[in-house]
């Protein structure tokens, strides 16, 4: 699939996602991801910040395509994409190592380079995150692709990471397909504060009236972020026409509801297409190995 076809397919798949029950899919995604988030709020509110999340996905994608790729290659790629500065990347890599999510050592063939590997801890966390996107996408638009080793985390994640690498290389990601969403996605917690507002209103039946009734304190406490963090996000969104608010009550505008649904349909589409590309590559590799073995 060439770059032009990939972009068109992503757009078509995203559009297809919006024709399903997108609200139910968003609720499922939020509930699944919160199962992990509640256990380690500090880690996930840092990980899910958009630029940091893209760095983490880049690490996995580069590693699963080539286990010998040096860390400097991923760093250069992330800098070129503007995800983080050089110093910030060094600090983030150290954070992942200290947290037990990445191992780094000197390359055995070139002592000037460092190699890296995701840990078993990463495997478990990344697979849960993947399923929090993959299962809702299946709800919206059931796929006939056969997921290799769905019960085997390593196989599932490897398959997706290799397919996602194609999308990552193309640059057709959420910040490019929906740049107006990045102001909220690149905050602590990533899209979780955005979804917390949306799902809270949805579950209380207040989308019909346009009001969200939970307090800043309730939302911020559930996500491990400060009340001030939520207030600043709401104020910035208010300037952009996404909210109306007073000291306690927040009104979600139709523009905000549209932003959420568009953003999540793109996220689900990227996951679906990434998995399809990974499955296709897996099948090609399997056939090649069968031919060689014969």
pLDDT beyond 60 at 293: no
Run of H or E residues at 245: strand 243-245
Q: With contact defined as beta carbons under 8 Å apart, do 62 and 76 qualify?
A: no
Query: Which residues are paired to 118 by β-bridges?
Result: 102
The whole-number pLDDT of residue 286 equals 60
Share of the chain above pLDDT 90, in %: 54
**What sign has the CA pseudo-torsion 271, 273, 276, 278?**
negative
- Tens of pLDDT, residue by residue over 54-90, are 999 999 999 999 888 999 999 999 999 999 999 999 9
CA 227 to each of CA 134, 184, 216: distance values in angstroms, whole numbers, following the listed order? 31, 16, 6
Token readout for 175 is 């910040």
> Lowest-pLDDT range, 38-47, 166-175, 207-216?
207-216
The whole-number pLDDT of residue 156 equals 86
| H, E, C per residue of 127-169 | HHHHHHHHHHHHHHCCCCCCCCCCCCHHHHHHHHHHHHHHHHH
- Tens of pLDDT, residue by residue over 114-130, are 889 999 999 999 999 99
The whole-number pLDDT of residue 212 equals 62
pLDDT beyond 80 at 33: yes
Please give the Cα distance from 162 to 159 (Å, whole number): 6
Please give the Cα distance from 151 to 154 (Å, whole number): 9
Mean pLDDT of the chain: 86
- Tens of pLDDT, residue by residue over 215-235, are 677 788 888 888 888 888 888
> Lowest-pLDDT range, 18-22, 33-37, 175-179, 218-222?
218-222
Share of the chain above pLDDT 70, in %: 87
pLDDT beyond 60 at 238: yes
Residues 6+ positions from 110 with CB-CB distance below 8 Å = 70
The whole-number pLDDT of residue 213 equals 55
Please give the Cα distance from 270 to 133 (Å, whole number): 9
pLDDT beyond 90 at 201: no
More confident residue, 277 or 248: 277
Closest CA to 192 of 22, 41, 1: 41
pLDDT beyond 80 at 289: no
Token readout for 134 is 């993959």
For the chain, first and last CA: distance in Å?
Answer: 29
pLDDT beyond 80 at 109: no
- Highest mean pLDDT (candidates 139-143, 147-151, 242-246, 255-259): 255-259
């Amino acid at each position: 699939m060439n770059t032009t076809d990939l972009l068109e397919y992503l757009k078509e798949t995203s559009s297809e996602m919006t024709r399903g029950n997108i609200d139910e899919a968003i609720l499922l995604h939020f509930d699944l991801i919160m199962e992990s988030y509640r256990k380690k709020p500090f880690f996930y509110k840092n990980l899910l910040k958009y630029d940091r999340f893209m760095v983490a996905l880049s690490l996995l994608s580069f590693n699963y395509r080539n286990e010998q790729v040096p860390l400097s290659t991923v760093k250069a790629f992330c800098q070129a994409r503007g995800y983080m500065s050089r110093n910030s990347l060094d600090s983030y890599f150290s954070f992942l190592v200290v947290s037990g999510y990445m191992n780094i050592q000197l390359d055995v063939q070139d002592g000037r380079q460092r190699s890296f590997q995701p840990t078993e801890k990463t495997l478990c966390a990344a697979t849960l995150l993947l399923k929090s996107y993959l299962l809702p996408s299946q709800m919206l638009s059931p796929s006939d692709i056969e997921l290799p080793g769905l019960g085997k985390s390593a196989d599932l994640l490897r398959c997706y990471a290799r397919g996602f690498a194609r999308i990552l290389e193309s640059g057709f990601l959420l910040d490019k397909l929906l740049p107006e969403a990045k102001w909220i996605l690149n905050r602590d917690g990533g899209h979780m504060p955005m979804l917390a507002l949306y799902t809270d209103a949805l579950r209380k039946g207040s989308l019909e009236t346009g009001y969200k009734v939970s307090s800043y304190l309730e939302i911020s406490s559930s996500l491990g972020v400060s009340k001030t963090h939520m207030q600043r996000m709401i104020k910035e969104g208010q300037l952009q026409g996404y909210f109306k608010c007073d000291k306690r009550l927040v009104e979600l505008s139709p523009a905000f509801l549209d932003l959420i649904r568009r953003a999540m349909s793109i996220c689900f589409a990227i996951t679906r297409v990434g998995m399809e590309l990974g499955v296709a590559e897996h099948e090609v590799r399997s056939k090649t190995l069968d031919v060689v073995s014969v």
